Amino acid sequence: MDLSFLHIIEVLGTFSFAVSGASFAMEKKLDPFGVLILSFVTAIGGGTLRDVMIGNLPVGWLRDETATTIIFTGALGTLLFDKYLKKLTTTLFLFDALGLGLFTLVGIEKAIQLNFSIGVCIALGTITASFGGVIRDVLLNNVPLVFRKEIYALASIIGGLVYFILKETNLDSDLSTIICILLIFIIRIVAVKFKISLPLFYTKLNK
Amino acid sequence: MDLSFLHIIEVLGTFSFAVSGASFAMEKKLDPFGVLILSFVTAIGGGTLRDVMIGNLPVGWLRDETATTIIFTGALGTLLFDKYLKKLTTTLFLFDALGLGLFTLVGIEKAIQLNFSIGVCIALGTITASFGGVIRDVLLNNVPLVFRKEIYALASIIGGLVYFILKETNLDSDLSTIICILLIFIIRIVAVKFKISLPLFYTKLNK
Amino acid sequence: MDLSFLHIIEVLGTFSFAVSGASFAMEKKLDPFGVLILSFVTAIGGGTLRDVMIGNLPVGWLRDETATTIIFTGALGTLLFDKYLKKLTTTLFLFDALGLGLFTLVGIEKAIQLNFSIGVCIALGTITASFGGVIRDVLLNNVPLVFRKEIYALASIIGGLVYFILKETNLDSDLSTIICILLIFIIRIVAVKFKISLPLFYTKLNK
């Protein structure tokens, strides 16, 4: 895996989540500083949790100002171009879905470099992609979206499984990465478009 | 302290908290994936926070798939046997109380191995036992149970103090551990059965 | 920078935040144990998050019982002298504002010792000062104060910037520290007194 390629998808994922976080904060009428913090937390929360748990310290964004710069740009852009974004709910949703795909693969590949088992790699990919949003929702006092709505983290898990299946083939590693990012992106879009959620296969009468 | 004995109580504690976390999530009507995540967070949250704060990284469950397997089994079992569990609220409560006792001692013994002071050891035992539930409650958008209800974390603290008193005697170390687990378990049961909470000994008129 | 001077402002900040955390918990009618935990979380939350992210492990309060003792004293004092504190809302607010200033500088100076860039140092100062309160608010099921109200974290950021400007002069380092603590303290007081908040400079019609 070319490191610079991993870096590019990380930059794109960071921007996607920064815009998504800023939009959520603006819907809750937070002041511009709150918008910036929420943008920040959404974009770096998952990666920070992953870095902390694997002991990759100081965590990434403290050592490399790229992420901070991207988030600042994304948050400021969202604040300034808000009136256009209102008509662009779809765009925002697409950014979030793209971030989901991008960060899942960033997480998986960082975990592979540390020789974790396949299960742990997929778990770390899912955490990287989902927990920024979880922290965002907790700070905004919502039950996290990932627990309530259409298939979200499951898309990460499926994408991660396919990545490890593709690794067994002769497919170019960068190509596999792109395929899995797109797969997660598409699963998420299809799930929301057709309102596909997991069935509550346990009895609903419980209390 | 025989490491394999510590491992057994950790396995039992993980299972207890996995079942307890899954039940809480099902009461909130989360989808099966949400149930799995909540089960996971409840079971590993406290230990993860402890490992992160003491610098025992990567955190335990990333290096040893035992925990992951147990949690998966516990969550799946709770989902599948839900209709029986409805009649078994008591069983679930007992699992949670047992987990409280087991994880307190796991935390204390890990802290002792790192030569922390007695106060810090008891704090780390309490964190190991209580904070999985705190994170579960925060994610479900509840004020954490540990802050609201009958004696919970205080049972951990008492059990921890007794453990250090017993260490001064000639009692077998494994036996002391079992005594303290049972003590915490019993304090918690008695507290709930007789609705014993700490008095608000400060004036209630405050605001 | 004399380490013992840094230590003194850390002790003062810990006490300020311990009293502030205990008061918030008492307003929510938590039991005395909950008050103690909230006091603890408010006082050590920000520093713990900072230590974890920079890899300064085990985190500070595990290695040095000073903080634990101060927090215990602060929480107990708040519980016992509650009836006087009711008339002293202003005092409590001043404690929190002072803690904000003190912890910002503690965080910045710890970050400087690790040679982080100026931006990262100010971010770590702000996190040290604000995130104890954020965790407190999340545990009490409130949208964090820092996102809702009069200028709070922005005071940290301004104080941090001034600190780096003063470093370029020949001013004594301890004196610069004191000036910046007072500056943050005063900004916060003026902001609350005159209800100065950041304008929502984006359109409010969003959603």
Distance (Å) from the alpha carbon of C85 to chain B's nearest alpha carbon: 9
pLDDT at C64: 84
pLDDT at C1: 44
pLDDT at B25: 87
Distance (Å) from the alpha carbon of A141 to chain B's nearest alpha carbon: 7
Chains with at least 3 CB pairs less than 8 angstroms from chain A? B, C
| Residues B29-59: tens digit of each pLDDT | 888 888 898 999 999 999 999 999 999 999 9
The pair of structure tokens assigned to B55 is 């610098």
pLDDT at C88: 63
Nearest one of B1, B42, B2, B3 to B19, comparing CA atoms: B42
Question: For residues C136 and C39, what is the distance between their CA atoms, to the nearest angstrom?
Answer: 8
> Higher model confidence: residue C57 or residue A142?
C57
CB-based contact C199 A31, cutoff 8 Å: yes
Grade residue C160 by pLDDT with cuts at 50, 70 and 90.
very high
Distance (Å) from the alpha carbon of A157 to chain B's nearest alpha carbon: 11
Quote the DSSP letter at residue C83.
H
Nearest one of A132, A137, A126 to A14, comparing CA atoms: A132
pLDDT at A87: 62
Mean pLDDT calculated for residue range C119-145: 90
Distance (Å) from the alpha carbon of B155 to chain A's nearest alpha carbon: 28
All residues of chain C having their beta carbon less than 8 Å from the beta carbon of residue A37 are 146-147, 153
* ipTM exceeds 0.95, yes or no: no
Residue with the two structure tokens 């500070």: C60
CB-based contact A153 B37, cutoff 8 Å: yes
Quote the DSSP letter at residue C88.
G
C162 by DSSP, 3-state: which? helix
CB-based contact A153 B58, cutoff 8 Å: no
C6 by DSSP, 3-state: which? helix
Q: Which residue of C116, C138, C207 is in closest CB contact with A62?
A: C116
Question: Before C32, cis peptide (omega within 30)?
Answer: no
CA angle A146, B29, B134 (to 5 degrees): 65
Surface of C (45-104) touching A: CB under 8 A: 52-55, 57
Q: What is the pTM of this model?
A: 0.90
All residues of chain A having their beta carbon less than 8 Å from the beta carbon of residue C124 are 62
All residues of chain C having their beta carbon less than 8 Å from the beta carbon of residue A34 are 146-148
Mean pLDDT calculated for residue range C48-62: 94
Grade residue C30 by pLDDT with cuts at 50, 70 and 90.
confident
B132: pLDDT strictly greater than 80: yes
Nearest one of B2, B26, B50 to B156, comparing CA atoms: B50
Q: Which of B23, B33, B92 to mutate to test the interface with A (most CBs of A within 10 A)?
A: B33
Residue type, C61: W
Nearest one of A13, A19, A3, A41 to A129, comparing CA atoms: A13
| DSSP sequence for chain A | --HHHHHHHHHHHHHHHHHHHHHHHHHTT--HHHHHHHHHHHHHHHHHHHHHHHT--S-HHHH-HHHHHHHHHHHHHHHHTHHHHGGGHHHHHHHHHHHHHHHHHHHHHHHHHTT--HHHHHHHHHHHHHHHHHHHHHHTT---HHHHSSS-HHHHHHHHHHHHHHHTSS--HHHHHHHHHHHHHHHHHHHHHTT------S-TT--
Q: Which residue of C124, C197, C206 is in closest CB contact with A86?
A: C206
Question: For residues B125 and C112, what is the distance between their CA atoms, to the nearest angstrom?
Answer: 33
CB-based contact B206 C62, cutoff 8 Å: no
pLDDT at C86: 65
For B185, other C-beta atoms within 10 Å of its C-beta total 20
CB-based contact C62 B52, cutoff 8 Å: no
Mean pLDDT calculated for residue range C30-58: 92
Question: For residues C144 and A175, what is the distance between their CA atoms, to the nearest angstrom?
Answer: 43
For residue C92, the surrounding DSSP H or E stretch is helix C89-113
Residue type, B30: L
Q: pLDDT 10s per residue in chain A (207 long)?
A: 445 787 888 888 899 899 989 988 888 888 888 889 899 999 999 999 999 999 999 998 998 888 999 999 999 999 998 777 666 677 778 878 889 999 999 999 999 999 999 999 999 999 999 999 999 999 988 878 777 667 888 999 999 999 999 999 989 989 999 999 999 999 999 988 887 776 665 654 443
Question: For residues A94 and A91, what is the distance between their CA atoms, to the nearest angstrom?
Answer: 5
Question: Before B58, cis peptide (omega within 30)?
Answer: yes
CB-based contact B147 C79, cutoff 8 Å: no
C136: pLDDT strictly greater than 70: yes
Report the percent of chain B where pLDDT is more than 70: 91
Question: For residues C153 and C155, what is the distance between their CA atoms, to the nearest angstrom?
Answer: 5
All residues of chain C having their beta carbon less than 8 Å from the beta carbon of residue B117 are 65
As a whole number of Å, the CA-based R_g of chain A is 17
Nearest one of A116, A136, A187 to A158, comparing CA atoms: A187
Distance (Å) from the alpha carbon of A207 to chain B's nearest alpha carbon: 7
| Residues A115-172: tens digit of each pLDDT | 999 999 999 999 999 999 999 999 988 878 777 667 888 999 999 999 999 999 989 9
Question: Before C144, cis peptide (omega within 30)?
Answer: no
The pair of structure tokens assigned to C159 is 């104080």
Report the percent of chain C where pLDDT is more than 70: 90
CB-based contact A205 B86, cutoff 8 Å: yes
| Residues B50-94: tens digit of each pLDDT | 999 999 999 989 988 889 999 999 999 999 987 776 666 777 788
